[in-house]
Amino acid sequence: MIRFEQNDFQIELEYKADRENARLQKIEIVLSKENKKVIRQNGVLIKRISELVGDFRSVLFCPDHLAMIKEGPSERRDFLDVAISQLYPNYLVALQKFERTLKQRNKLIKDIKEKPEEGIRNDTLDIWSDQLAEWCSVIAWHRWAYIQKINKVVNSIFNDMTSGKENTEIIYSPACAKKEIEVLISDLIQEKKEISTDMDSEFRSGFQEVVRKVYQKQLHENKEREIAAGMTLYGVHRDDMSVYLNQKEAREYASQGQQRSLVLAIKLAEGEISKQTTGEYPLFLFDDVLSELDDKRRRYLLNQIKDKQVIMTTCELGDYVLSDAKVWEVKNGEYMEKTCSYT
């Protein structure tokens, strides 16, 4: 991020909510070669960048996001973590506490394995196991609830994009308690009750209790196996989000063009859910996306973003610029507004 022969960089963002009398906000970030990041919001020093998460919401779509479909579960977990954290601050808190607890528990497991002479009692692990199970239950609920929402929106967008020829399904694949969750949902359906994703619902409490107990049982009963492996083997750090296209797993059977379209649909759906939850669209950031899409999907994307604020980068302007778009040319670090004949 720091240019050659320069000592630091500084970036500033001014923004405000999309409502009347909204206050102008300002974020400043400075990073130098000698010092750590310095972050300020409205002139006030911010200790951790996580304090800003959710204050300014955005959806980023770049070619690297194709890994969400093609690669392993960590790519899909990263997507869920970023998307949910922007909407629910308590999810980010749970995620951070889970990571700290997991780190401490892994250290203890490693010490038990490598330093038997210290006589560390295995039941000390139970304390960390109980805490880990608690954070697992919170994270699992948020992931499940978010996937219920995004599944419907993605299928609608993809169906529209392909003129009804193809359909999608996104399913939460927890590392644990899948059968117990399915039983919980089945019992609720038999009672003829609607499954609610309301964050304060009675269903949430039952869901979290089931997940907590299952993880607690696994962590307590498999201590010796984990000590032999030298790490924690059970937890939401092994979750996945399964994406299906026409009833087949997209990772295995979708073409490259279908994978691009799926990621585009997921990113557009992320923005729609943000709008449903917060009342306003996030800022969409599209990095060299048009070159990754065919003509039909380019025009679909541009039609979908007409009523949204979008910053898009491209190496070739082409004839796809919207009539009310502003265009800047970037050359040698300088930005120059261009006059274009729009189509």
CB 154 within 8 A of CB 266: yes
Most confident of the ranges 48-52, 66-70, 102-106: 102-106
Distance CA 15, CA 56 (A): 8
- According to CATH, the topology of domain 68-274 is Glutathione S-transferase Yfyf (Class Pi); Chain A, domain 2 (1.20.1050)
What's the average model confidence in pLDDT over 323-343? 78
Residue 318 has pLDDT above 70, yes or no: no
Q: Rounded to two decimals, what is the model's pTM?
A: 0.89
For 66-77, the pLDDT digits (tens) are: 889 999 999 999
Band of pLDDT at residue 212, cut at 50, 70 and 90: very high
Give me the pLDDT at residue 142, please. 95
The pLDDT, as a whole number, for residue 153 is 95
Q: What is the mean pLDDT of residues 88-114?
A: 93
At residue 343, the pLDDT reads 47
Listed residue (300, 263, 257) closest to 66, CA to CA: 263
Q: Is the pLDDT of residue 95 over 70?
A: yes
Model confidence over 241-290: pLDDT tens digits? 999 999 999 999 988 888 888 999 999 999 999 999 999 999 999 998 87
CA-CA-CA-CA dihedral for 241, 243, 247, 250, to nearest 10: -130
Q: Which two tokens stand for residue 99?
A: 């990571």
Average pLDDT over residues 315-326: 71
Q: Which sequence spans correspond to the domains of the chain?
A: 1-52, 68-274
Report d(CA 185, CA 194) in Å as an integer. 10
Q: Is the pLDDT of residue 195 over 70?
A: no
The yes-or-no verdict on residue 198 having pLDDT over 60 is no
Is residue 40 over pLDDT 60? yes
pLDDT of 322 over the 70 cut: no
Residue 216 has pLDDT above 90, yes or no: yes
pLDDT of residue 299: 84
